[in-house]
Amino acid sequence: MAGSVVVAQPLPPGAPTPSQAVAAARETVPDDPSGFSFGSYGRVGVASDLRGRTAIDTNLVAFGPRLLLAPYAELQFNYERRNGDVRWRVITTIGVNNDLFHYTGDFTATFAIRNLYVEERGALHEHLSLWVGSRMYRGDDVYLLNFWPMDSLNMIGGGARFDAGSHVAVQAAVGMNRLDNPYQLQTLSVAARDGFGPTTAYLLDRPRIFGAVKATWYSAGRTSREGLKLSLYGEFHSIAAGVRQTNDAGTRIELPSDDGWVVGAQAGIYRGPSFLNVFVRYGQGLGAYGDLAVPITLASARTSARAQDIRVALSGNWESGAFALMVGAYFRFFRDADPGVFSRNALVEGAVAVRPIVWFGQRAGVSAEASYQHVVYDAIDPATGSGALAGTVWRFSVMPFVSPMGRGSYTRPHLQLIYAASIRDEGARRLYAPDDPAGFNTVEHYLGLGAEWWFNSSYL
């Protein structure tokens, strides 16, 4: 997943962004766009475990603390124009993974197109914006845990936003995907009707169609730097019926149509760069798995109707002079569609991270971070034969940094020296494969250098 994005320079007058926290997860458009521009998000670093091996991330949960994440970068190319009262732009964002040539010696890399869409505002109404294409469609995030707890979709489709007066914004989008997975796609090599050699037939081809709607109310107006905001959110997911072949003998089974939904709410209070956001989200059926995942197990009716996902999350930032405090936390209850009592696909998990920051002057500082993460599976621990399979990790970190753009929890770039000690309990060590060396270490060290940056990037 990509990290939060904040525009490093001061926001233009009239930009609908009430705080730096909101800027971390929403697009910002200059008042007078013109021509080409470039933006980027990225993190890069290298570290040792102080035992002669490469340091590793020690997260156990789905949305663990971001501090030790592998290198990742996004390169964004924008073309923006104004035609009278109409503004439009084309956004292209390329994601680059962590296979860096200077570390692996392999002159290859994997790229992904994260955004490829056109957006306009003012063609039909001065307060209406429309977009069509492929994009990351997101709301506010929990920065310390590197995830978007309520609205986070990856879609090819289109959407609209309407600013109803100065206090209300309504957004809607619809799109689809067809993951390269036997749940949605299966191709067969069959004899051609004419000529020689085989041809490809699409036996199973059932894209998922999903939509989202969100309404947000701002107590002091969308452009105010302080106030209260409340959001309501919903998604609907649907997939058609299909037929899948299960073996080389040609046995086929019918897959019924499936669907799901999500409802969520967010409450936030903000004043300048300081804020506190609370999120609640419930997903049922396909909505419990998210847009880039499919059910691992199904009920006897071969649907995901029994699956449930409940999330509660918190994100906050407080800044006062030379001091700042960032917090992030979430709790998650997940049950897959299988009605069985014991399963590694049913769990309760959560994480908490706290990061105090002290600045020395305007461009240097030190942050410390303490985090806790815990997971409990609905499965018996095979090593003990009794009790649930579970694990806990505590992590304590210190990070001196240099910040060329000055003070602020969300100013970037940062050049960092990072030390972290992760402490695993016995249950956490048993979650690793029997021959994985990480499973033998109670304490995992991380000492390295890192950098993180963001500028001119677009998120909704």
Q: What is the spatial distance between Cα 287 and Cα 293, in angstroms, rounded to a whole number?
A: 10
| pLDDT for position 38 | 93
pLDDT grade for 19, boundaries at 50, 70 and 90: very low
Place of tokens 């390169």: 75
Note whether 447 and 50 are within 8 A (CB): yes
| Region of poorest pLDDT, from 221-225, 269-273, 384-388, 402-406 | 384-388
**CATH code of the domain covering residue 118:** 2.40.170.10
> Could you tell me if residue 90 is inside a domain?
yes
Whether residue 385 is predicted with pLDDT greater than 60 in this model: the reply is yes
What separation in angstroms does the CA of 257 have from each of 3, 153, 181, 303?
34, 21, 16, 8
Whole-number pLDDT of residue 265: 98
Kindly provide the residue ranges of all beta strands, DSSP E only, lying in 110-178, ordered along the sequence.
Answer: 111-121, 128-138, 152-164, 168-177
Give the confidence band of 298 by pLDDT, cuts at 50, 70, 90: low
**Per-residue pLDDT, 66:** 94
Asked if residue 448 has pLDDT above 90, the reply is: yes
Whether residue 15 lies inside any domain: the answer is no
Which structural domain range is residue 236 located in? 20-455
Cα–Cα distance, 392 to 388 (Å, whole number): 13
Is residue 12 a part of any domain in this protein? no
- Number of CB atoms found within 10 A of residue 229's CB: 24
Asked if residue 36 is part of any domain, the answer here is: yes
Average pLDDT over residues 426-441: 90
- 8 lies in some domain: no
Residue with tokens 């609905």: 378
In a domain, 329, yes or no: yes
Examine the pLDDT at 21 and tell me if it is beyond 60: no
pLDDT at res. 358: 98
Domain count, the chain: 1
Confirm whether 14 is domain-assigned: no
Query: Angle 163-94-77 (CA atoms, 0-180°, nearest 5)?
Result: 60
Domain presence at residue 10: no
Q: What pLDDT is recorded for position 1? A: 38
pLDDT of residue 22: 41
In angstroms, the Cα distances linking 300 to 49, 182, 255, 260 are 46, 18, 11, 17
Give me the amino acid identity at 417.
Answer: L
